[in-house]
Amino acid sequence: MPQHIVQRGINREPCFFAEEDYHSYLHWLERAAVDWHCVVHAYVLMTNHVHLLVSPETETGTAKLMQAIGRRYVQYINRSYRRTGSLWEGRYKSSVIQAETYLLTCMRYIELNPVRAGMVQDPGQYRWSSYRHNGLGQAQGQPLGHGRFSDKICAEAGIRRTQKRPGRPAGKTDQSRDTETQPDFGF
Protein backbone atom coordinates (compact mmCIF):
# COMPACT_ATOMS: atom_id res chain seq x y z
CA MET A 1 0.00 0.00 0.00
CA PRO A 2 1.32 3.46 -0.84
CA GLN A 3 2.23 5.69 2.10
CA HIS A 4 2.32 9.47 2.29
CA ILE A 5 5.32 10.36 4.44
CA VAL A 6 6.09 13.76 5.94
CA GLN A 7 9.27 14.59 7.81
CA ARG A 8 9.78 18.08 9.21
CA GLY A 9 12.85 19.96 10.33
CA ILE A 10 13.10 20.42 14.09
CA ASN A 11 11.10 23.49 15.17
CA ARG A 12 10.17 23.76 11.48
CA GLU A 13 13.63 25.13 10.80
CA PRO A 14 15.36 24.56 7.45
CA CYS A 15 16.78 21.15 6.66
CA PHE A 16 18.11 22.14 3.22
CA PHE A 17 20.58 25.02 3.04
CA ALA A 18 22.20 24.77 -0.39
CA GLU A 19 21.62 23.11 -3.75
CA GLU A 20 24.05 20.31 -2.92
CA ASP A 21 21.90 19.39 0.09
CA TYR A 22 18.91 18.66 -2.14
CA HIS A 23 21.09 16.62 -4.50
CA SER A 24 22.49 14.64 -1.57
CA TYR A 25 19.07 13.88 -0.12
CA LEU A 26 17.78 12.67 -3.49
CA HIS A 27 20.88 10.53 -3.98
CA TRP A 28 20.35 8.81 -0.63
CA LEU A 29 16.62 8.50 -1.28
CA GLU A 30 17.32 6.63 -4.50
CA ARG A 31 19.85 4.32 -2.87
CA ALA A 32 17.60 3.61 0.10
CA ALA A 33 14.59 2.97 -2.17
CA VAL A 34 16.58 0.35 -4.08
CA ASP A 35 18.14 -1.17 -0.96
CA TRP A 36 14.83 -1.43 0.92
CA HIS A 37 12.61 -2.29 -2.05
CA CYS A 38 10.42 0.81 -2.06
CA VAL A 39 8.87 2.49 -5.08
CA VAL A 40 8.84 6.31 -4.96
CA HIS A 41 5.77 7.67 -6.74
CA ALA A 42 6.17 11.35 -5.82
CA TYR A 43 8.31 13.61 -3.68
CA VAL A 44 8.91 17.23 -2.84
CA LEU A 45 11.82 18.61 -0.84
CA MET A 46 10.71 21.86 0.76
CA THR A 47 13.05 24.11 2.71
CA ASN A 48 11.97 22.78 6.09
CA HIS A 49 10.23 19.48 5.36
CA VAL A 50 9.91 16.57 2.95
CA HIS A 51 6.89 14.82 1.44
CA LEU A 52 7.26 11.36 -0.08
CA LEU A 53 4.71 9.01 -1.62
CA VAL A 54 6.22 5.55 -1.33
CA SER A 55 5.06 1.95 -1.81
CA PRO A 56 7.18 -0.47 0.21
CA GLU A 57 7.45 -4.01 -1.11
CA THR A 58 8.09 -5.35 2.40
CA GLU A 59 6.48 -4.70 5.76
CA THR A 60 9.54 -2.90 7.11
CA GLY A 61 10.50 -1.12 3.89
CA THR A 62 9.25 2.35 4.81
CA ALA A 63 10.86 2.35 8.26
CA LYS A 64 14.18 1.10 6.87
CA LEU A 65 14.05 3.62 4.00
CA MET A 66 13.47 6.56 6.34
CA GLN A 67 16.07 5.33 8.82
CA ALA A 68 18.69 5.01 6.08
CA ILE A 69 17.97 8.44 4.60
CA GLY A 70 17.75 10.10 8.00
CA ARG A 71 21.01 8.69 9.25
CA ARG A 72 23.01 9.52 6.10
CA TYR A 73 21.49 12.95 5.52
CA VAL A 74 21.80 14.14 9.14
CA GLN A 75 25.44 13.02 9.24
CA TYR A 76 26.07 14.88 5.98
CA ILE A 77 24.39 18.09 7.23
CA ASN A 78 26.10 18.00 10.63
CA ARG A 79 29.51 17.45 9.02
CA SER A 80 28.96 20.04 6.26
CA TYR A 81 27.66 22.79 8.52
CA ARG A 82 29.61 21.95 11.69
CA ARG A 83 26.50 21.36 13.71
CA THR A 84 25.38 18.61 16.08
CA GLY A 85 22.16 16.96 17.08
CA SER A 86 18.98 16.09 15.33
CA LEU A 87 17.80 17.74 12.16
CA TRP A 88 14.32 16.22 12.15
CA GLU A 89 11.39 16.91 14.43
CA GLY A 90 10.96 13.43 15.84
CA ARG A 91 9.89 10.43 13.82
CA TYR A 92 8.42 10.86 10.36
CA LYS A 93 4.62 10.82 9.97
CA SER A 94 2.98 8.45 7.51
CA SER A 95 -0.52 7.68 6.29
CA VAL A 96 -1.57 4.73 4.16
CA ILE A 97 -3.11 5.88 0.87
CA GLN A 98 -5.76 3.85 -0.94
CA ALA A 99 -4.12 3.57 -4.36
CA GLU A 100 -7.36 3.28 -6.30
CA THR A 101 -8.92 6.32 -4.65
CA TYR A 102 -6.27 8.76 -3.49
CA LEU A 103 -2.95 8.01 -5.20
CA LEU A 104 -3.30 10.75 -7.82
CA THR A 105 -4.81 13.17 -5.31
CA CYS A 106 -1.88 12.61 -2.97
CA MET A 107 0.62 12.99 -5.83
CA ARG A 108 -0.95 16.35 -6.72
CA TYR A 109 -1.01 17.41 -3.07
CA ILE A 110 2.71 16.65 -2.75
CA GLU A 111 3.79 18.15 -6.07
CA LEU A 112 1.72 21.34 -5.62
CA ASN A 113 3.25 22.06 -2.21
CA PRO A 114 5.70 24.69 -3.58
CA VAL A 115 2.80 26.45 -5.34
CA ARG A 116 0.67 26.53 -2.17
CA ALA A 117 3.70 27.83 -0.25
CA GLY A 118 4.07 30.71 -2.73
CA MET A 119 7.54 29.62 -3.81
CA VAL A 120 6.58 29.23 -7.49
CA GLN A 121 3.51 29.89 -9.62
CA ASP A 122 3.72 26.65 -11.58
CA PRO A 123 4.87 23.30 -10.14
CA GLY A 124 7.15 22.78 -13.14
CA GLN A 125 9.26 25.71 -11.92
CA TYR A 126 10.25 23.91 -8.72
CA ARG A 127 13.35 21.76 -9.18
CA TRP A 128 13.09 19.63 -6.07
CA SER A 129 9.93 17.68 -6.77
CA SER A 130 8.81 14.81 -8.95
CA TYR A 131 6.38 17.03 -10.88
CA ARG A 132 8.57 17.47 -13.94
CA HIS A 133 8.73 13.70 -14.29
CA ASN A 134 5.16 12.81 -13.31
CA GLY A 135 3.31 15.82 -14.70
CA LEU A 136 5.40 16.75 -17.73
CA GLY A 137 7.09 13.49 -18.64
CA GLN A 138 10.55 15.07 -18.53
CA ALA A 139 13.64 13.18 -17.50
CA GLN A 140 14.31 14.05 -13.90
CA GLY A 141 17.93 15.06 -14.09
CA GLN A 142 17.88 13.90 -10.47
CA PRO A 143 19.04 10.51 -9.27
CA LEU A 144 15.55 9.03 -8.98
CA GLY A 145 15.29 7.05 -12.15
CA HIS A 146 12.33 6.31 -14.35
CA GLY A 147 11.84 2.84 -12.90
CA ARG A 148 11.44 4.05 -9.32
CA PHE A 149 8.27 5.96 -10.20
CA SER A 150 5.88 3.04 -10.53
CA ASP A 151 4.93 3.33 -14.16
CA LYS A 152 2.65 0.36 -13.54
CA ILE A 153 0.51 2.26 -11.02
CA CYS A 154 0.51 5.38 -13.20
CA ALA A 155 -0.58 3.29 -16.19
CA GLU A 156 -3.34 1.64 -14.16
CA ALA A 157 -4.54 5.08 -13.07
CA GLY A 158 -4.45 6.30 -16.66
CA ILE A 159 -1.72 8.91 -16.33
CA ARG A 160 -0.31 9.79 -19.74
CA ARG A 161 2.51 11.93 -18.29
CA THR A 162 1.18 15.06 -19.91
CA GLN A 163 -0.71 17.94 -18.45
CA LYS A 164 -3.81 19.83 -19.44
CA ARG A 165 -3.58 22.34 -16.62
CA PRO A 166 -0.76 22.99 -14.16
CA GLY A 167 -0.87 20.45 -11.37
CA ARG A 168 -3.37 18.21 -13.15
CA PRO A 169 -1.83 15.20 -14.85
CA ALA A 170 -4.08 14.03 -17.67
CA GLY A 171 -5.70 10.68 -17.14
CA LYS A 172 -8.77 8.60 -17.81
CA THR A 173 -11.23 11.33 -16.93
CA ASP A 174 -10.22 14.83 -16.02
CA GLN A 175 -13.78 15.47 -14.87
CA SER A 176 -13.60 12.73 -12.23
CA ARG A 177 -10.42 14.27 -10.77
CA ASP A 178 -11.96 17.73 -10.73
CA THR A 179 -14.72 16.46 -8.44
CA GLU A 180 -12.41 14.63 -6.06
CA THR A 181 -12.32 16.00 -2.56
CA GLN A 182 -8.97 16.71 -0.99
CA PRO A 183 -8.43 14.14 1.75
CA ASP A 184 -7.22 15.22 5.15
CA PHE A 185 -3.82 13.55 5.40
CA GLY A 186 -3.51 14.54 9.05
CA PHE A 187 -0.33 16.56 8.66
pLDDT reading at 180 higher than 90: no
Query: Model's pTM, two decimal places?
Result: 0.78
For residue 74, count CB atoms less than 10 angstroms from its CB and return exposed for 0-12, middle for 13-18, buried for 19 or more: middle
Give the mean model confidence (pLDDT) for residues 95-118: 92
Residues with Cβ within 8 Å of residue 142, at least 6 apart in sequence: 23, 26
Distance between CA atoms of residues 50 and 107, nearest Å? 13
Return the domain boundaries, the chain. 3-178
Angle, nearest 10°, between helix axes 19-35 and 61-80? 150
pLDDT, one tens digit per residue, over 30-51 is 999 999 999 999 999 999 999 9
pLDDT at residue number 133 = 87
Q: Which CATH architecture has domain 3-178?
A: 2-Layer Sandwich (3.30)
Per-residue pLDDT tens over the stretch 129-148: 999 888 888 766 554 433 44
List all residues 6 or more positions away from 37 whose beta carbon is below 8 Å from its beta carbon: 56, 57, 58, 61
